[in-house]
Amino acid sequence: MEEKRWIPTPADQFTFGLWTVGNRGRDPFGDAVRESIPPTTTVKELSRLGAYGVTLHDNDLVPEDASLAEHDRIVKQFQAALSDYHMAVPMVTVNLFYDPVFKDGALTSSAKPVRTYAIEKAQRAIDLGVQLGARIFVLWGGREGSETDAARDPRQAFSHYRDSLNALTSYIRGSHYDMKIALEAKPNEPRSDIYLPSTGAMLAFIQTLDHPELVGVNPELAHAKMAGLNPVHEVAQAIDAGKLFHIDLNDQRIGRFDQDLRFGSDDLKGAFYLVKLLEDSHYAGPRHFDAHPYRTEDYAGVWDFAAGCMRSYLIYRDRAQQFARDPDIQEMLQAIERLNADETVIRSAEDRKRWGQHGYAYEKLDQLVNELILGVR
Ligand code: GCO
Ligand code: MN
Ligand code: MN
């Protein structure tokens, strides 16, 4: 009976990057364990599982050195698959990190030729996105960082970053595109330190741009955790600023390399509060999974991974709704609210003592929520 609620449909707006299910399991210590999946197959399989759409880097679809004719053929074939399987492309991004040309940065490179090439590559990726119907352009600056600060005054990197982003928003405006940019922060990896390492840093930086209204953020859960931060608070700050343009859902243990684990697979409580936040705030954008199947998996495991991300989201959403209905939890929340609504002004030592001594009963509340998440309530 209840199972029915956990079957994804396009209305849930679940999306996956072509590079996520298509990840071949290569890591710094071992080679690929799976063949690449043709983008049209990904579209078909994800649609079968109930996803709403796919996202892509320019080069996930079209090889960098493709001729114009090849480019058109590949895009046409992909569009046909999208239409056959009723799949959308709400977001595209650009690969400014793989090619050795970007080894010392792309949009922040101190070399003008590299910066110009990066800006033009991003503009072509924006064009491709518009062609596919995308309205969000994610920018993750994987190479925008350093190993040694002897190489560059970081202030110069910010200034190049700003000029490059201004060039992109001016391109979007000049082309009359309905497209917004979402910046994605990550503290490190692949570089020792990446500039603008957190969503908060990006939110501040956006205000210094020519067109801040065209630029928001794409927080990724794993990246906040890599920095030892609470992703729920990061996302909440982005919502508060009206800047949550997109989101990358996955999972991560604090203190590790970028694990890109299946959404909701590791930190059950964190996933619950994140889904609750997105639902409570009526976040209307796609629920985008940016994660990788374990390296141990074959193709069956890849689709188990994708189905697991979506199913987990729906279960957490269900639990969030149950939180709002649970009489014991709600009674406790009301009691806290009554306590906090006290209008007395704290003036005397006695008043302070009273506030200092009363208990908030969060131990009990947290235990109730844990039991709800564990499915025993
Ligand atoms: C990572 C990043 C990427 C970006 C993607 C979009 O850590 O590898 O999360 O997956 O999200 O490249 O540009
Ligand atoms: Mn990541
Ligand atoms: Mn990401």
Q: Is 57 exposed, middle or buried (0-12, 13-18, 19+ CB in 10 A)?
A: buried
Q: Distance between the two ends of the chain, CA-based, in angstroms?
A: 17
Statement: residue 355 has pLDDT above 80: yes
Q: Name the residues annotated as catalytic.
A: 57, 60
Ligand 1 contact, 137 CB (< 6 A): no
93 Cβ contact list (under 8 Å, min separation 6): 17, 55, 56, 57, 58, 125, 137, 138, 139, 140
pTM of this structure: 0.97
Give 198-207 pLDDT, tens digit per residue. Answer: 999 999 999 9
pLDDT on residue 129: 98
Asked whether the predicted pLDDT for residue 299 surpasses 80, the reply is yes
CB of 267 closer than 6 angstroms to any ligand 1 atom: no
AA letter at 76: K
Ligand 1 within 6 A of 290 CB? yes
Is the confidence at residue 325, as pLDDT, over 80? yes
Tell me how many helices (H) and strands (E) the chain has.
Answer: 14, 10
Q: Which atom of ligand 1 is nearest to the CA of 139?
A: 13
Cβ(93) to ligand 1 under 6 A?
yes
- Report the nearest atom of ligand 1 relative to the CA of 220: 9
Distance, CA of 117 to CA of 94 (rounded, Å): 12
Residue pair 120/164 in contact by the 8 Å Cβ criterion: no
The span from the CA of 173 to the CA of 364, in Å, is 53
Contact indicator for 234, 219 with CB cutoff of 8 Å: yes
Nearest ligand, CA of residue 190?
1
CB burial string 161-190: b at 16+ within 10 A, e below: bbebbebbbebbeeeebebbbbbbbbbeee
Å from CA of 26 to ligand 1 middle = 15
User: Does the CB atom of residue 144 touch ligand 1 within 6 A?
Assistant: no
Kindly give the interhelix angle for 231-240 and 199-206, rounded to the nearest 10 degrees. 20
What pLDDT is stored for residue 2 in this prediction?
Answer: 54
Indicate whether residue 138 lines ligand 1 (CB < 6 A).
yes
Per-residue confidence band for 141, with pLDDT thresholds at 50, 70 and 90: very high
Rounded distance, CA 54 to CA 132, Å?
Answer: 11
pLDDT at 5: 83
User: Does residue 77 register a pLDDT over 60?
Assistant: yes
- Alpha carbon of 136 to those of 95, 179, 288: distances in Å? 15, 6, 12
Residue nearest to atom 13 of ligand 1 (CA): 140
Which tens digit of pLDDT belongs to each residue from 91-136? 999 999 999 999 999 999 999 999 999 999 999 999 999 999 999 9
CA nearest neighbour of 140 among 59, 194, 89: 194
Question: Mean pLDDT of all residues in the chain?
Answer: 97
Check the CA dihedral 317-319-321-323 and report its sign: negative
Q: How far is CA 124 from CA 25, 93, 120, 142, in A?
A: 28, 10, 6, 19
Predicted local confidence at residue 1, as pLDDT: 46
pLDDT in tens, 259-291: 999 999 999 999 999 999 999 999 999 999 999
Region 229-240: mean pLDDT is: 98
Q: Which residue ranges make up each domain of the chain? A: 3-323, 326-373
Write out pLDDT tens, residues 34-45.
Answer: 999 999 999 999
pLDDT bin (cut points 50, 70, 90) of residue 80 is very high
What whole-number percentage of the chain has pLDDT above 90?
98
Amino acid at 11: A
- Candidate of 220, 221, 288 to mutate for ligand 1, largest count of ligand atoms within 8 Å of Cβ: 220
Please tell me the CATH code under which domain 3-323 is placed.
Answer: 3.20.20.150
pLDDT digits (tens, 9 = 90+) for 5-30: 899 999 999 999 999 999 999 999 99
- Ligand 1 atom, smallest distance to 20 CA: 10
- Cα 330 to ligand 2 centre (Å): 36
Residues with CB under 5 A from ligand 3 (ion): 220, 248, 290
